[in-house]
Amino acid sequence: MGTMTKVWAAAVLVFMLAGCATMPKRPENVAQGDYGYTKEYISWLARKEMKKHDVTGLSIALVDDQRVVWAEGFGFADEAGNVSATPETVYRAGSISKLFTATAAMQLVEQGKLDIDRPLQTYLPEFSIRSRFPAAGPITPRTIMTHHSGLPSDLLKGMWTRNPEPFESEVNLITDEYAAYPPDSVFSYSNVGVTLLGHGVEKITGRDFASHMDASVLRPLGMPHSSFSAAPDRSPLAAKAYRKGEEAEETPLRGIPAGGLNSTVLDLSRFMEMVFAGGRGGERQIIKPETLAEMLRPQNARVPLDLNFRVGLGWMLSGLGNIDIKNAGPVAHHGGATLYHRSQLIVLPDHKLGVVVLANSATAGSVVNKLATEALKLALEAKTGIKQPDRKKPTESDGSFSQDALQAYEGRYATMAGVVSVSKQSDYLRAEVMNKSLRLVPRSDGLFGLQYKLLGLFPISLGELDNVGISRAMVAERDILKARADGQELLVGERIQPVPIPEKWLQRTGEYKIANAGDDAVLFETLRLRHDAGLLLVDYSMPLFFNGTMSLAIAPLSDTEAVIYGLGRGMGETIRVVAIGGEELLYYSGYFLRKNLP
């Protein structure tokens, strides 16, 4: 090849690569119903985000009423086998499963076999759980579907393991646990609750859960590649699992009703089409229109600690961050996460638009959320002409917060990111979050904005968090931190009020390891109990779900029981001291924790 030929070839290659890396130009006008730019832009965005976050494979489907207007796969379902991801690739759908379990429960309501406001024991007589709330109302199917049951979030022992026990065993495993909260007091996501509901469905129908779901929901909807199973799909269409580009083992899951759905984006499109058809799938009425409307109706408007976050029966109806679509009416959605698969499904019922994104990589959580949301924003504009408003960046305050106002925030808070310590500086607050320092800077709207400075000098964007404002409030006699973005508010933390620590708990500080892990997937790599400035803290790491180490604060109730501080998922739960064979162990969520010898 001559020199000039090589130069031209190199120039063409550079041009082609540049074209791949350049965002598609947005057309000045889009014809109604023309999804061409939506497909082009989301395809570009998918490749960009997959590379950025090391995602191996991903599939997406966009639905307009009763049509799949676009479905495509990106990357690999099986990289070693050179098998591309396609719309037919079968993924673990994770907690999208809960939409189907809720649908099956509501079918039984229509048949007069289930009353969602009666105690769960009516349908699952063997269910019982300890409680410290004598005046609390009953745990019902409704409180389970809205995640207001007060049940523990998970039973971690045996949750992900190579040979899980039947999910029906959870009703016995929960007997010696404590309820975390009274029902209908706060939104607290619970896989345990939905698994128990699935057990109730099984009891009522007299057939095993997976068979019932296939006969009552999946087959009638025309979802041939979908099934409920503890294990991932093993067919030639199945996606392998990956973490940071390396193939990984997707361990079976015990809680099938909460997260055991294997599916494709095309199959899940049939579910969205059913929603847009008023509960009808093909020639069959899966659920009645009024039942579907009840599932999509906000159920928790009278729960003060939920602020203006809303949830339906199975469906999430609010979001803070990426899932934020304006001027579209209700935005109903549910995401999912197994050990290595991530998913997001969103529908706009008023406009009969929906999208689902499934991925086979543990690093894909933010990717599936972003792609699904951006696809729906563009599709909404293409179908209706409705554009998203320009987001105005909040401005910093001119110093309107007094020193007393700043000082009122000082303290430690129990949050989903662990214990957050807030301290007053000269004209701002400093928050220590998972060993990183953030600034809480007063804004002109009376809230605090989040800032992060690399090496304390260089401002770094926090993405969607740049638009979030933080404030403090007293709600239901709880001193809380709340986050606000574009009118949506969420509870993010509760101020910790330390209690006296018995000497026996102080003697238990030290490093721990799980004594009965068995064949479980290794979730915890660090377990440490320590005393710090009047608080007992549990430090732990979960590399499969987050980087770094998180700390939880626990409040001793006696010499042998302590409760995790805070409100929401994983908090309010109990750590107990047990003696086995003369040896003292800590017990949490089915695991026995043995203190390491010095």
In a domain, 246, yes or no: yes
In a domain, 278, yes or no: yes
What is the model's pLDDT at position 412? 97
Of 471, 495, 519, which one is at a domain's C-terminal end?
Answer: 495
CATH number (domain holding residue 366): 3.40.710.10
The closest alpha carbon to 572, from 475, 478, 435, belongs to 478
Q: Per the structure block, which two tokens stand in for 589?
A: 């969520």
Instruction: Write the Ramachandran bin of 75: left for phi over 0, alpha for psi from -120 to 50, otherwise beta.
Output: left
Phi, psi of 403, deg, nearest 5: -65, -35
DSSP state of 168: G
438 in the same domain as 292:
no
What is the model's pLDDT at position 460? 65
The closest alpha carbon to 551, from 576, 528, 523, 525, belongs to 528
CA distances (Å), origin 364, targets 56, 83, 422, 576: 9, 19, 31, 35
243 in the same domain as 200:
yes
242 in the same domain as 210:
yes
187 in the same domain as 109:
yes
Looking up tokens 């499969």 gives: 544
Looking up tokens 């214990």 gives: 419
Of 495, 521, 544, which one is at a domain's C-terminal end?
Answer: 495
Q: Between 3-21 and 36-53, two packed helices, what is the crossing angle to 10 degrees?
A: 100
| Cβ atoms within 10 Å of 175's Cβ, excluding its own | 12
CB neighbour list of residue 556: distance below 8 Å, 6 or more residues apart: 499, 500, 501, 502, 505, 536, 562
279 in the same domain as 244:
yes
479 in the same domain as 507:
no
The closest alpha carbon to 201, from 184, 214, 190, belongs to 214
Instruction: Report the alpha-carbon distance of residue 336 to residue 342 in Å, rounded.
Output: 6
In a domain, 65, yes or no: no
Instruction: Report the alpha-carbon distance of residue 433 to residue 418 in Å, rounded.
Output: 8
In a domain, 420, yes or no: yes
In a domain, 538, yes or no: yes
Of 495, 523, 544, which one is at a domain's C-terminal end?
Answer: 495
What is the model's pLDDT at position 115? 98
In a domain, 172, yes or no: yes
Looking up tokens 């969520």 gives: 589
191 in the same domain as 126:
yes
Instruction: Report the alpha-carbon distance of residue 342 to residue 254 in Å, rounded.
Output: 18
420 in the same domain as 549:
no
In a domain, 40, yes or no: no
**Average pLDDT along the chain, 598 residues, taken 10 residues at a time:** 38 38 83 94 98 97 98 98 98 98 98 98 98 96 98 97 97 97 97 98 98 98 98 97 95 98 98 98 95 98 96 89 86 97 98 98 96 97 94 70 91 95 92 89 90 65 78 96 90 96 97 95 90 96 85 97 97 97 96 93
What burial class does residue 131 get, using C-beta atoms within 10 Å of its C-beta: 0-12 exposed, 13-18 middle, 19+ buried?
middle
424 in the same domain as 538:
no
256 in the same domain as 156:
yes
CATH number (domain holding residue 563): 2.40.128
What is the model's pLDDT at position 197? 98
What is the model's pLDDT at position 501? 97
How many separate domains does the chain show? 3
What is the model's pLDDT at position 4? 36
Task: Give the ranges where 209-304 is alpha helix by DSSP (H).
Answer: 209-213, 219-221, 256-259, 265-276, 289-295
Residue 572 belongs to domain spanning: 503-595
In sequence order, what E strands does 305-399 have?
332-337, 342-348, 353-359
Instruction: Report the alpha-carbon distance of residue 205 to residue 111 in Å, rounded.
Output: 11
544 in the same domain as 486:
no
396 three-class SS: strand
Instruction: Write the Ramachandran bin of 222: left for phi over 0, alpha for psi from -120 to 50, otherwise beta.
Output: left
What is the model's pLDDT at position 463? 72
What is the model's pLDDT at position 402? 87
In a domain, 329, yes or no: yes
CA 48-54-56 angle, to 5 degrees, is 95
565 in the same domain as 445:
no
